Amino acid sequence: MNVQLPTIADVIAASIRIAGHAVVTPLLRSPELDQLAGGTVLLKAEVLQRTGSFKFRGAFNRLSQLNADERRAGAVAWSSGNHAQAMAAAGQILGVRTTIVMPADAPAIKVANTRGYGAEVVLYDRVRESREEIGHRIAAERGAVVVPPYDDPHIIAGQGTAGLEIAKEAKAQGLTVDASITPTSGGGLTAGVVLALKDAFPGVKAYTAEPENYDDHRRSLAAGAVQKNPSVEKALCDGLLAPYPGDVTWPLNRRQLAGGYVLTDRDVKDAMKFAYRALKLVVEPSGAIGLAAVLTGAHNGRDKVTAVVLSGGNADPATFIDAISP
């Protein structure tokens, strides 16, 4: 694809656009977690972001740049839930009609919230149908703008504002970030956050956190070329099921990342339980997977400062109760 990759200047510009709309989320510490890790763990609480996930950053950055004609025509997106809610909320603020293509098996709370922000929801079967084909068809019929969940320079730049905030707060505490862990699906959050962190801390080692059978970034890094996932069926980490790294995200991530971690459903549930007990936070499975990498020891945080993004808190109630139950 002949696409201009985002730069740190784009991330800084995005931070100006979203100011006053997105929440500057806290960077949290837990003495218990630091002791377990043998180092310092900084947790970026995007569960407290508007719409409950980091996705609002990228969605608002993208929609705020539409011209008058594009705003009137509206925007179309596809998402399992968090990008959907973010697009709907950003569209509501900016007066842009949004249509979201969502899997029929998406968590009910995410579908309800998306509709609650005023978006039109079109459901599809994630095994038999292509959300991209459906979305492009609707956009063509309406003359609407397509806003993909991660494979867009403006989306990546918007997500990168979380990395700017991590760097600013870490420096304010006199800390140098040695490593970062981000939940990774298509790679937009990872690409943007690491872009910002490497500008602030050139020596930072960045890692992905992915669920079993959906570790396309880890395998792609090892192979030196894009690898696809074997399945697109429903899984616990419903927000991390992209089939392969994006065309825009991969060129950034292949040069920025040091490696990746693969976590089991049990690992993720244990991380959700820890976040609830020790941090008093509700973290959805996809949002807890980076924390799981620290808790399991998959990531060696000893004598290091590690930044971990808790990317979302839109947990299905039944799933959350199951995770935190004894």
**pLDDT tens, position by position, 40-92:** 999 999 999 999 999 999 999 999 999 999 999 999 999 988 999 999 999 99
pLDDT class of 254 with cuts at 50, 70, 90: very high
**Number of residues that this document lists for the chain:** 326
Domains of the chain: 8-52+153-324 (3.40.50.1100), 56-146 (3.40.50.1100)
The pLDDT of residue 1 is 55
Burial class (CB in 10 A: 0-12, 13-18, 19+), 303: exposed
Sequence-ordered list of residues with C-beta below 8 angstroms from that of 302, at least 6 positions apart, any chain: 37, 38, 39
**Residue 244 is encoded by which pair of tokens?**
């392969």
The pLDDT of residue 42 is 98
Task: Reply yes or no on whether the pLDDT at 144 is more than 80.
Answer: yes
Average pLDDT over every residue of 123-149: 94
The pLDDT of residue 233 is 73
Report if pTM > 0.85: yes
Which H or E run contains 43?
strand 40-45
**Alpha-carbon separation of residue 322 from 74, 291, 315, 317, 325 (angstroms):** 39, 18, 11, 9, 5
Average pLDDT over every residue of 220-247: 91
Buried b (16+ CB within 10 A) or exposed e, 264-278: eeebbbbbbbbbbee
Average pLDDT over every residue of 257-274: 98
**Nearest CA to 302 among 38, 43, 41, 31?**
38
Task: Reply yes or no on whether the pLDDT at 167 is more than 90.
Answer: yes
Average pLDDT over every residue of 187-193: 98
Average pLDDT over every residue of 305-312: 98
The pLDDT of residue 141 is 96
How far apart are the C-alpha atoms of 26 and 253, rounded to whole Å? Answer: 25
At residue 84, φ and ψ (nearest 5 deg) are -60, -50
What are the residues facing 42 on neighbouring strands?
307
Average pLDDT, the chain: 96
The pLDDT of residue 232 is 66
